[in-house]
Amino acid sequence: MSRREELLAEMGLAPIWRLRTRPTAEKRAAGQWIELKQAVPACTACALHKTRAQTVLGVGDEDADWMLIGEAPGAEEDRLGEPFVGQAGKLLDSMLAAIGLKRGDNVYIANVLKCRPPGNRNPEPEEVAKCTPFLKQQIALIRPKLIIAMGRFAAQTLLASDATISSLRGRVYRYEGVPLIVTYHPAYLLRNLPDKAKAWADLVFAKKTMATL
């Protein structure tokens, strides 16, 4: 310790040049969000960048307890840059309302893929593999209490499983330590109305699960 530092210590003061602290976890996370929000629109890791209008990172509360994950942007999402804004999104919003939740309010919505597959075809395994690190980082930054994987692609990707939705429902899994439950995709429910009752049961199960977390 230098004489100057000794004198300051005697006065109970810390030298200003020692006061520079390491960035807080909060500041680090803010920096990582900025990087992610720049990296996703600049991504050319798969061919989907050639046909997208824009990337669709996600929407909502970045400190949310609830995180819902779908498959990939559709035409409307590609146009507007927000997930679940088409017909399936309207159904998702009413499903959320049914359990007292609202898009953007303690809820974050994202997709496995950040770019629209042309003609809304299914995502290719290579596209999923290239895009999953973005989703992983989103989850790490949001640190939700509960993830709801909606549909086959989200569930199978996050659980590294090829099981069907119907066999995966009704249990709590973990993704990177975060509790995760599985339900039907809203677009599937639009085509299969009788399964809406099962999706309702899944949401009730999710709500009960959240109450225990």
Q: How many CB atoms lie within 10 A of CB 11?
A: 6
- Tell which positions 123-182 bind ligand URA, by CB under 6 A: none
Nearer to ligand URA, 61 or 77 (CB): 77
Q: Let me know how many helices (H) and strands (E) the chain has, helices first.
A: 10, 6
The only residue of 111, 138, 157, 183 in contact with ligand URA, by rule CB under 6 A: 111
Nearer to ligand URA, 74 or 179 (CB): 74
Q: How far is the CB of 142 from ligand URA (least distance, A)?
A: 17
- Tell which positions 22-41 bind ligand URA, by CB under 6 A: none
Sequence letter at residue 60: G
Residue 183 in the binding site for ligand URA (CB under 6 A): no
Print burial letters for 118-157: b (CB count within 10 Å at least 16), e (below 16): eeeeebeeebbebbeebbebbbebbebbbbbbbbbbbbbb
Residue number closest to ligand URA, CB atom = 70
Q: Which residues, in sequence order, are bridge partners of residue 109?
A: 59, 68
Nearer to ligand URA, 120 or 161 (CB): 120
Q: How far is the CB of 72 from ligand URA (least distance, A)?
A: 6
Q: How far is the CB of 175 from ligand URA (least distance, A)?
A: 17
Three-state secondary structure of 168-192: HCCCCEEECCEEEEEECCHHHHHHC
Phi first, then psi, for residue 86 (nearest 5°) are -85, -155
Nearer to ligand URA, 119 or 211 (CB): 119
Strands 66-70 and 107-111: parallel
Task: Name the helix (H) or strand (E) containing 187.
Answer: helix 186-191
- Tell which positions 68-107 bind ligand URA, by CB under 6 A: 70-74, 77, 83-84, 86, 88
Task: Name the helix (H) or strand (E) containing 16.
Answer: none
Q: How far is the CB of 151 from ligand URA (least distance, A)?
A: 6
Q: How far is the CB of 106 from ligand URA (least distance, A)?
A: 19
